[in-house]
A and B are shown apart, each in its own frame.
Chain A
Amino acid sequence: MRFLLRLAVLLIGILLINPVFAQTTATISGRLTDATTGETLIGATVEALGLGKGNISNEYGFYSFSLAEGADSVTLRFSYLGYESKMQRIFPKGNIKLDIGLQPAGNVMKEVVIRSNPLEEKMKSTEMSVSTISAREVKALPALFGETDVIKILQLKPGITPGAEGTTGLFVRGGNSDQNLIVLDEAIVYNANHLFGFFSTFNSDAVKDLKVYKGGFPSQYGGRLSSVIDVRMKDGNNQDFTGSGGLGLISSRLTLEGPIQKNKSSFIVSGRRTYADLITSGINRANEGKADYNPIPDYYFYDLNTKVNFTLSEKDRLYLSGYFGRDVFNFKNETFDFRFDWGNATGTARWNHVFNPKLFANTTFTYSDYRYRINNELQGFSFNLGSEITDVNTKIDFYYQPTNKHTIRFGASGTYHMFTVARLKAGSSDGRISFESGQDFTGMEYGAYFSDDWALTSRLKVNYGARVSAWQNAPAFYAGFEPRAAANYTVNNKWSVKASYARMNQYLHLLASSGLSLPTDIWYPSTEGVKPEISDQIALGTSYLINNKVLITWEGWYKWLQNQVDFKDGAELFGNNDLENELAIGRGFAFSPLELEIEKKDGRLTGWIGYTLAWVRRGEFADINNGDYFAPRFDTRHNLSVVAMYELSKRWQLTATYVYTSGYISWLPVGRFTLNDVPGAPIQTVVPIYGDRNTFRYPAYMRADLGVVFKFKTKRLENDLTLSVYNATDRRNPYFIYLEPEFQTVQQGDSAIDIPTAIKAKQVSLFPILPSLTWNFKF
């Protein structure tokens, strides 16, 4: 609380002191946008030519910097990768407001927004361990079933280990999959998956920008240990009414956007739905009543993104955005009438206010909900199981630029969490039989932060700050102090050296019953028995720029993890009112001496090469593996990814990706015994005995994907046809290995007996070569 008071005092001081600065310097501020759509540009550059002064726009397109007042004119250059630069002459005096629209560089597909920090800016920034993904990359790169997915592109970045084949799982720098803070327009997305993880919830048509922090976390972020994935939706075109969409193998998409009041307000609505169920339900109807017919389960998912924004005044802007998505699985036969649905809903209301040219504030209210429901009806009996987490959050963030040497951010947030944990109700309709279990929790999570990005000298920049977080789930109360620091020393215009440290606290824990992400995984709060997870990460790195075109970045990092949560062996997740008794608490660590990225963002050939050499361990769990350390499933030693996009012409683009990953870790049985069992049960000849956890490594994973994009115009539409070839070499990668006994059937009198003869290891692969064609259009 004292920290919040100090923040308030600081804010008042800033508001009072600011006019003093304004008397001696000219302050140039405004917003940078795409001139054709009005979309704000994040990370665009403004610089005063010849003066070495300038800044980049923040996540709302807002920029601010100061110049000494004078009679001579100064030329400002506004630039952004993929856009034509714009020059503007000014006379630096007083406060100058300049809202600038940049024209996209002549692409046939003008909806393409190339979003990337210029490599030089990236090299000189105090930010490290950061990756960005552009909409252009997402749309161009080959994808499984042609379904472009921003999260799957993220998996190609160094330091990020993908989940199981084809899924959107992310294991960032040795962290668990629940240790990623995934936010969509600042609302938390708790389960960013469709179809058991094969597709993410992010419709690439609606996504403007994605940035992932793997370390060196800015102070404004907290609540997860291993990464921050900040996804921004498009604002909507405030110039013209436009539409876009696509037809793919799995789903179809449609996006409509346009001005509500030109230049002042706009909307965007984007929807997506799969259609396999339309076919399966037709087949089921055609075969209804046939004795030997087993109905095919119906499955579909859909999601809807909406956003409106209003320019209320020169200083005020309001954004309202929402997401709603559901997966639905239905199955009905003579025994079951089964429905399983799950999904997220988020809502965000944001108010941007420019207090003065140096002070910008954003006030946000968010709502986030993730739930799953399983319902099964039988004649006279029912079964219902579900879990849910709901957040209501409010926060305020200030962005303050007192001088060109300091960029200060501070703010505070409060989140009210509501949990329904594995609520089960089952029984007979007459009430004679009833089963019930489950727990409900509420919790308050608080955060307040401060950071200063300080240019100590022309070569040395530091970013220092701290976050104070707290968690209350009566009677449990925890508070954490999270120092953050980063430094960049620019040796020369081509070379910089960086370092960072960050502590993170995580008050929510995902209880996952297997190494794979399932919709039924449960979010569980910190309690007296389950302490907050804590991580400390240090990173060192260096960046070298070759010919202003290729940036080579090396980083080495070490991460310590405390209070890691796992299930005891044989834990019962459902039908259990004492889940904490099933949990084991331990520690972990991960480190990499070599995380390398070579990026090229401009020219006909663009892309990157990423390589990570890393070790990951978990241990000191009292009830797991005798407390010994073990490698978790995603401890892949080597990760190599190569991503290339080549503009053959204005119409044709070739793309390719290659991935090599050391095999995942698995827990295979080491012994077996024969189970005699009780009367009425047959002898089981092979019961596996598991020894130490996770001692077997799968064969390496390798995959090459190819893509061709052909762009063309018809009378009313701008089109592209994208041919994707997933797993172009048709390699059989391991998805799952199991040990299977082989049996020989021996006739014994009237009955046949299966006698085991040998055991073989079988490898199951998921996807062979999979070509797909997607048609995208825009009008």
Chain B
Amino acid sequence: MVSLLKKIFPFSLLLLVACNLTKDVDVVLPEYDRQPVVECYLEPGKPFRMLLSESYSFFDPFNLDSNFLQNTLLDSAVVTISYDGKTETLANQLSFEFSPLKIFNYTGTAVVPATTGMEYTLHIILPNGKEINAQAVMLPKTMIDSVKVEFSADADTLARVLTYINDDTTQDNYYRRMLNYSSLDSTAAQDFIVNDRISQTSLIAFGTGYDLKEGDTIINTIFHISKPYYDYIESVQLAVAGNANPFAQPSPIKSNVSGSGNPVGVFTCLVYDRDTTVVHK
């Protein structure tokens, strides 16, 4: 709802003045030192893998040539993840996953166990000798309780989909809800984070508008996420919004990785339930 407000305010301004009043300007930004960027999602059943890259100064050219990956990825680091008395060393090896595209430049040989409550510790020694550390815990999966298709009473060719989950009301929980149409390769129609701190009931619903038709396929994903990951996503969203919306307050990136390497990024476990539904009457 808040995001809706933020969309409506600029829209009301546009109603006032329907003129093109945008122009390019020169901006000089303060000096910025590149930072290591860690993204490591431990997904049960998948190998330990991580993307370690470097940030850029905002106006640095993209240079999407053959050296782009070399300039962006931070190679030659020593990466280990410890858990349950074991230490997994991730080799500096480029790999890809498609639909949608994901890039990893450090990969282990073992598979992430699905043990709820398992604690993981990430330790990185960068080529310059500086270090990065982080911790994460495997949360229990929150299952999708049910998915309900409802056709509009006004226009019976249009439907909405309601997705229900059962929330554990005994503790604070954080979720990321993602909704894709047709395939996971599509841009998510809904992608937002919520928490249950003000929920009075165990049942939580996520809905669409009446904009679905007979035969449409929707893919619901409910990630049960940790508070640090919730804060990280929120800060990413605010950072993006703050640069595009005069009513939004920007935010620095709230990372849960730290150390002498002065990193940004996140190290978290990724548990989710996913459901695919085809709209039928």
Contact = CB atoms under 8 A, between A and B. Distances in A.
Interface of A: 164, 195-196, 198, 276, 296-297, 299, 329, 331, 334-336, 338, 340, 374, 376, 378-379, 381, 383, 385, 424, 426-428, 431-437, 513-516, 518, 520, 567, 569-571, 573-577, 667-684, 687-692, 695-696, 699, 732, 734-740, 751, 755-768
Contact of B254 (A434, A570, A738, A767): A570
A680 B198 contact: no
B22 A433 contact: no
B102 interface: yes
A73 to B, nearest CB: 63
A196 B9 contact: yes
A671 B188 contact: no
A683 B1 contact: no
B136 to A, nearest CB: 14
Interface in B1-58: 1-2, 4-5, 8-9, 11-13, 15-17, 19, 21-27, 29-32, 34-35, 37, 39, 41, 43, 51, 53-58
B236 to A, nearest CB: 6
A498 B270 CA distance: 68
Interface of B: 1-2, 4-5, 8-9, 11-13, 15-17, 19, 21-27, 29-32, 34-35, 37, 39, 41, 43, 51, 53-59, 61-62, 64, 72, 97, 100-104, 150, 152-155, 158, 176, 178, 180, 184-185, 187-188, 191, 197-201, 203-205, 207, 209-211, 219, 221, 223, 231, 234-236, 238-240, 242-244, 246-254, 264, 270, 274
Contacts of B152: 334, 379
Given A299-B15, A516-B247, A680-B178, A675 B236 contact: yes
Contact of B250 (A335, A516, A667, A768): A667
B27 A695 contact: no
B220 to A, nearest CB: 10
Contacts of A335: 209-211
A570 B235 contact: yes
B194 to A, nearest CB: 9
- What are the nearest 3 A-B pairs in CB distance? A335-B209, A437-B198, A761-B27
A696 B27 contact: yes
Given A196-B9, A695-B30, A376 B100 contact: no
B203 A738 contact: no
9 contacts: A435-B198, A514-B247, A577-B198, A689-B253, A690-B239, A696-B29, A738-B243, A761-B24, A767-B21
Nearest to A299: B12
A383 B39 CA distance: 36
A520 B5 contact: yes
Q: Quick one: which of B5, B34, B150 has the most chain A CB within 10 A? A: B5
B56 A672 contact: yes
Nearest to B97: A679
B57 A670 contact: yes
A436 B235 CA distance: 24
A383 B1 contact: yes
B243 to A, nearest CB: 5
Contact of A678 (B11, B53, B270): B270
Contacts of A567: 249
B149 to A, nearest CB: 13
B239 A688 contact: yes
A334 B209 CA distance: 7
Given A676-B39, A678-B270, A737 B25 contact: yes
B243 A681 contact: no
Given A680-B184, A761-B24, A518 B103 contact: no
A668 B28 CA distance: 10
A261 B117 CA distance: 82
Contact of B252 (A329, A427, A689): A689
Contacts of B264: 673, 689
B9 A670 contact: no
A104 B95 CA distance: 86
A458 B83 CA distance: 86
A374 B204 CA distance: 21
Given A334-B210, A433-B201, A674-B53, 17 more contacts: A338-B4, A376-B1, A378-B207, A518-B9, A569-B251, A570-B238, A576-B198, A669-B239, A672-B57, A673-B264, A687-B236, A689-B264, A692-B30, A732-B23, A759-B59, A760-B24, A763-B24
